[in-house]
Structure 1
Amino acid sequence: MPLVKRSIKPRHLCRGALPDRVTSELECVTNSTLAAIIKQLGSLSKHAEDIFGELFIEANSFYMRMNSLQERVDLLAVKVTQLDSTVEEVSLQDINMRKAFKSSTIQDQEVVSRTSIPNPVMEMYHQCDKPPPLNILTPYRDDKKDGLKFYTDPSYFFNLWKEKMLQATENKRKEKRRQKVSTSGQALSLQARPHSRPAPPRSPLFGSEQKLVEDPSREVKKVRKARNRRQEWNIMAYDKELRPDARLTPSPYHGMSSESSLSPDNR
């Protein structure tokens, strides 16, 4: 719901009931209208004075801030002009060791509070009807709660925000504790796991085939056989009818005795 900060009263100039025993109604309405106009001008001048007062306060605070900033700039300009790069050498380590600039400006807190309420809103607040005196029933309550807070509670929204912030903080604390427990459980499981035994060394075998002695749980990959040109030449030396079956793996020592007689150079 929008809140009107400044309201000029009276709003209606000619609206109103005429008093009894009026001889000239037109004259009475004219006089009441002029009086309402004068009241409107007075209300307008009052709000104008309040507006200019707020502008003066804002301009004064802005001037004070600009004045302090100008003083700091002047001091910095004097220091910069007095520096001599040929005499004073500042290392990068010294610059990093210095503390960073820290502003002394105080941040505004409790912006929406009773002390920061504008004067027109405060006047409207005092003109409102007062709440019923329910606080006189507080001594008769068993829960020791203020009876007036059931009708109006200015601290309700602050307490609601405080509960949400405390709940969010508690949720973050529980999440961090859960992460710590999970990481510690994983570390304990890794320490309790037995170490796997290393695979035995491979023994060298003769020929193109080698048997790999590995962990039986691992999948053994088939190794491609090495190509032996001399063995192929010895097989080609036979006739087609006497050649051994290609599906059978020939022995690496096959044909070594007749290698000198069956080689392509001695054919």
Structure 2
Amino acid sequence: MPLIKRNIDPRHLCQGAVPDGIGNELECVTNNSLSAIIRQLSCLSKHAENVFGELFNEANTFYSRANSLQDRIDRLAVKVTQLDSSVEEVSLQDINMRKAYRGAAVQDQEVLSKGSTPSSVAEMYEGCDRPPPLGALTAYREDSTDAMKFYSDPSYFFDLWKEKMLQDTEDKRKERRRQRVTAFRALTCSRSRIPQHRCQLQESNLCCSRAPHCRQIKRFCMSGCTLQVRVVLFRS
């Protein structure tokens, strides 16, 4: 459904009825048509002034943002040219003591709020019929729901989007939990496939030369890992 921002009034210039008692009807219709055309030109000039005003405001905003961006680029270029890669500004010991970078750029928010509505749309909105006073029936409802929301609810689409975002977040959390459980089960199954007698045999062969480490080797065998890696650790 298209949204008409500006209407040119009056319309249907020559469809009006001729009043009674007019001697020259053609002259009357001609005068009425010419006066309606003049009113249309006046309305058109008003809309033209509004259009150029909006273009001026948008161009001014774009110019301000471009100047701000150019200033940031110039400051960054100066810092880059003065940067010396051979000098260590922050040591590895102090890098964790510094605060994380936080940009000072301000992002546009509430771009579709009532305050950002164009003047032409706001004028059409003010000219619309007011909704019926259904809010007076809220006191008689048992669920304390605003009765006006059954007729018009401006926050409906926001609430719908919020529920969708919350549901997506919950689904992702459940998916991550399911993946962790699946990985844990796969790891448990892979550990349970190693024969127990093999671990005991390797444990008895190593205990004769490294008696102090028998308890650690046994714990390592019961964990399901290979003993070759553990022996390398002993030798290192």
Normalization by structure 1: what TM-score? 0.62
Alignment of 1:134-149 (within 5 A): 134-149=134-149
Aligned equivalents of 2:160, 2:25: Cα separation in 1: 58
Asked which structure has the greater RCO (Cα within 8 Å, sep 6+), the reply is 2
- State the AA in 2 paired with 1:44: L
Measured after TM superposition, the shift of residue 60 of structure 1 is 1.4
The separation in 1 between residues aligned to 2:184 and 2:149, in whole angstroms, is 49
Residue equivalent to 1:90 = 85
State the 1:144 CA deviation. 0.7
- Give the residue type in structure 2 aligned to 1:45: S
Cα distance, 1:89 vs structure 2: 4.5
**TM-score of the superposition, structure 2-length normalised?**
0.69
Instruction: Give how far 1:73 is off.
Output: 5.0
Residue matched to 1:13: 13
- Percent identity, please: 58
Any idea what the Cα deviations from partners look like across 1:23-57, whole Å, max 9, x if unmatched?
32222212211221111111111111111111111
The answer to whether structure 1 residue 34 and structure 2 residue 29 are counterparts is: no
Q: Structure 1 residues 70, 34: closer, same or farther in 2, change over 3 A?
A: same
Residues 137-194 of structure 1: CA deviation (Å, up to 9, x unaligned):
1100111111111111111111111111111111111111111222222333344445
Q: Give the structure 1 partner of residue 159 of structure 2.
A: 159
Report the Cα offset of residue 113 of structure 1.
Answer: 2.0
Question: Larger helix proportion, structure 1 or 2?
Answer: 2
User: For residues 183 and 72 of structure 1, do their structure 2 counterparts lie closer, same or farther at Cα, with a shift above 3 Å needed?
Assistant: closer
State the SS of the aligned residue for 1:161: helix
What does 1:10-159 correspond to in 2, within 5 Å?
Answer: 10-72=10-72, 75=75, 89-91=84-86, 104-159=104-159
CA distance in 1, matches of 2:168, 2:79: 49
Q: Which residue of 2 aligns with 1:184?
A: 184
CA shift for structure 1 position 15:
1.8
Offset of 1:72 from its aligned partner? 4.3
How far did 1:18 drift?
Answer: 2.2
Aligned AA for 1:18? V
Deviation of the 1:101 alpha carbon: 8.7
Question: Unaligned regions of 5+ residues in structure 2, if any?
Answer: 202-236
Aligned partner letter, 1:91: S
Q: CA RMSD in A?
A: 3.1
Structure 1 unaligned regions, length at least 5? 201-267
Aligned counterparts of 1:74 and 1:186: Cα–Cα separation in 2: 55
CA deviation after TM superposition for structure 1 residue 104, in Å: 3.8
Deviates more, 1:23-32 or 1:185-194: 185-194
CA change 1:147–1:77 in 2 (3 A) is closer
User: What letter matches 1:119 in structure 2?
Assistant: S
Residues 195 and 94 of structure 1: CA distance in aligned 2, closer, same or farther (over 3 Å): farther
